[in-house]
C-alpha cells in the first residue's frame, strides 16, 4: 500500500491534530452511549433490588451455555477487530480486509445465536405481552425481568447490526485503497465502537445470565 501524505482539513494545523480531534469526538459519542445504556442498567438495578427472587428465578430460564459461547464469540471478534486496526496502523491492506471480514463473520455468528435464543423464548411464552406465561407466583415480576432482557439485549443487537454495516463499508474502502499508514482514522474509530459494544455485553452477560445459578 502506498503511503501518500495525509491530507488534513483547513481548520486543523496538521494531520496529528485532526486525528486527535476525531479520536476525542468518538469518545464523546461513546460517553453518550454509556449514558444511553446506563439508563437501562439503572432501571434493571432498581427492579432487581425490588424483586430479587423473581429475577433469580427468571434468569435461570436463559441458556447459560449459549450465553457463555456468545460472550466468547464477541471477545474473539474484538480480538480480530484489534488486529484489523493494527494492520491498518502499519499499512497492510490484505490483513486489514481479512481481519475485518473475520470480525463481520463472528458478529454474524453472535447475532445468529442471539436469534436462536429469542426463538426459544417465543416458543416458551417468555416474551412479555399477552402471550406471556410463567409458572408460579412470581409471574408478573418475572415478566419485568424479561422486559429488561429483551430491551437490553435487543438494543445491544441493534448496535451490533449497525457495527456490521460500518465494518462492511470499511472493507469496501480498504479494498479501494482509501487507508494508509498516515490515514486510517475510520478503521480506528469503528474499532472503538465495536469494542464498546463488546463492553456492554461484558456487563449484560453476568447481569442477565448469572443472577440465580447458585440458587438452583
Q: How far is Cα 57 from Cα 18, in angstroms, rounded to an integer?
A: 51
Choose the stretch contacting other proteins; rule: CB under 8 A; options: 18-26, 103-111, 118-126, 148-156.
18-26
Site string for other proteins, 42-81 (x = CB under 8 A): x--xx--xx-------------x---x--xx--xx-xx-x
Site string for other proteins, 153-182 (x = CB under 8 A): -----------------------------x
Task: Return the beta strands (E) in 20-160 as ranges.
Answer: none
Nearer to other proteins, 110 or 127 (CB): 110
Q: Under 8 Å CB-to-CB from 23, ≥6 apart: which residues? A: 185, 188, 189
**Which residue from 35, 123, 130, 136 is in contact with other proteins, where contact means CB under 8 A?**
35
- Quickly list DSSP for 57-76: HHHTTS-HHHHHHHHHHHHH
**Which residue from 34, 158, 161, 175 is in contact with other proteins, where contact means CB under 8 A?**
34
Q: Which of 181, 5, 165 is nearest to 85 (CA)?
A: 181
When asked if residue 100 is in the footprint of other proteins (CB under 8 A), the reply is no
**Which residue from 20, 116, 137, 175 is in contact with other proteins, where contact means CB under 8 A?**
20
Q: How far is Cα 59 from Cα 76, in angstroms, rounded to an integer?
A: 25
Amino acid at each position: 500500500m502506498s503511503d501518500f501524505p495525509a491530507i488534513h482539513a483547513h481548520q486543523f494545523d496538521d494531520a496529528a491534530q485532526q486525528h486527535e480531534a476525531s479520536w476525542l469526538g468518538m469518545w464523546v459519542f461513546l460517553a453518550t452511549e454509556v449514558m444511553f445504556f446506563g439508563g437501562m442498567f439503572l432501571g434493571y438495578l432498581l427492579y432487581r433490588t425490588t424483586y430479587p427472587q423473581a429475577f433469580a428465578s427468571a434468569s435461570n430460564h436463559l441458556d447459560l451455555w449459549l450465553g457463555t459461547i456468545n460472550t466468547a464469540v464477541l471477545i474473539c471478534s474484538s480480538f480480530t477487530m484489534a488486529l484489523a486496526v493494527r494492520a491498518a496502523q502499519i499499512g497492510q491492506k490484505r490483513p486489514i480486509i481479512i481481519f475485518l471480514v473475520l470480525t463481520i463473520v463472528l458478529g454474524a455468528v453472535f447475532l445468529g445465536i442471539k436469534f436462536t435464543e429469542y426463538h426459544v423464548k417465543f416458543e416458551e411464552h417468555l416474551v412479555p405481552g399477552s402471550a406471556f406465561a410463567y409458572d408460579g407466583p412470581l409471574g408478573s415480576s418475572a415478566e419485568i425481568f424479561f422486559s429488561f432482557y429483551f430491551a437490553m439485549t435487543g438494543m445491544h443487537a441493534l448496535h451490533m447490526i449497525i457495527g456490521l454495516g460500518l465494518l462492511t463499508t470499511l472493507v469496501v474502502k480498504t479494498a479501494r485503497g482509501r487507508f494508509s499508514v498516515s490515514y486510517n482514522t475510520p478503521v480506528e474509530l469503528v474499532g472503538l465502537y465495536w469494542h464498546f459494544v463488546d463492553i456492554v455485553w461484558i456487563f449484560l452477560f453476568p447481569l442477565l445470565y448469572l443472577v440465580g445459578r447458585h440458587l438452583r
